[in-house]
Structure 1
Amino acid sequence: MSEQDNQRGPKFRRRAEARPDEVLDAALDLFITKGFAATRVEDIARQAGLSKGAVYLYFPSKEALMEGLVRRAVAPIASLALHQLEGVEGDPRLAISATLRMVAGKLADPRLIAIPRLIMREVVQFPELAEMYRKEVLEQIIPVAIGLINRGIAEGYLRPVDPELTVRSIVGPIALHLILAEVFRMTPADGLAMDRLMDNHLAILFDGLSLPERAK
């Protein structure tokens, strides 16, 4: 930090440190209302009360802004999911259930769920957004989840299923639920109803995935 910044005092420093989040908040508001493609950096700067040049000091492109949103909101959920899935001992269904319920609870936040929604909307026109989301989120979680399924099979908790395809079956209904709501505007009467979806999904999942008692 410069000597000039120090002379301006702690209030100025707090303001400067908050600016990246202010820019991201402004970008998210505009991406939600106007869409990623239609939003200009100058629009984001105006919304954040900054100059266009000031925005570029923190984020060199509009894609970098979307990456910043993913890192700020979604990547921490991926890290928490990893913490819940890694090093699990005993029945892996407990960790799977806890992780899915945690994700459902986080997705109840409309500003958080807006980010995967935006990626679904814009992915055809901006495939680099999907690539970024894959690297930042999916590639972090999926290998760990596959390992958990493998261990559950080896220890006699789960049926001898294909672990990679099973992970797709676990996350697939959640992704489809969001696609139906976002792309086709088909939602339950009470909205996304993530809690009810998760209860229903886990009941079906574990009835099909669990090894019957007589086979253990």
Structure 2
Amino acid sequence: MSVTTQLATMLAMIGMGSWLGAALDTYNRFLQRQNRKHWVVFINDVLFWIVQGLIIFYVLLLVNEGELRFYIFLAILCGYAAYQSLFRMIYLRVLEWVISLAVRLYRFFIRLCYYLIVRPVQLLLQTLLMLSLFIWNVFLFVLRILYQCVKILFAPVRWIGFMVWRRIPQNWKETLKNFFRYLAGIIRPVKNMIVKWVLKWRK
């Protein structure tokens, strides 16, 4: 391995040591160990270190074709120590700022979707409901007026019919009553059949 390759390897591994420190702080920030079960923490730790090992080996493979030397581990340790002493506090502040910005952007997007999509749909549905209720109330009001008008218009007819009915002989009255009972007996089964068909169709 040439001196240039060794120097590039040293710089790359110092950088990977700093990357490892930043990745570890980011991982701990999002994992929140105190709120997780032990087996969940264990599985996440194993996966984290496997991924970090693969990333470091991939960088090493790009720099010196994957040759392992003792100074590589020293370079990683130096990079991690440099991160801890020089960059850790700055990175944590930047990380918290990025997380806070992402949360605010998420909340802004949710509110934007609410006021642009959800709220207009709610207002439209409320308007349609109120309009439907208004039309229904107007329809009922018109029906009541028509009913009262029909009652007033047919009051003389009803009175005349009552007077005529009183003058009909008793035997004719019985005949008419029997006729109406006969009609009711015919209409009732038809009505029951229609009701059963409607209920069956609704199911």
TM-score when scaled to structure 1?
A: 0.25
Higher RCO (Cα < 8 Å, 6 or more apart) = 2
Q: Considering only CA atoms, is the larger Rg found in Structure 1 or Structure 2?
A: 2
**More helix, by proportion:** 2
TM-score when scaled to structure 2?
A: 0.27
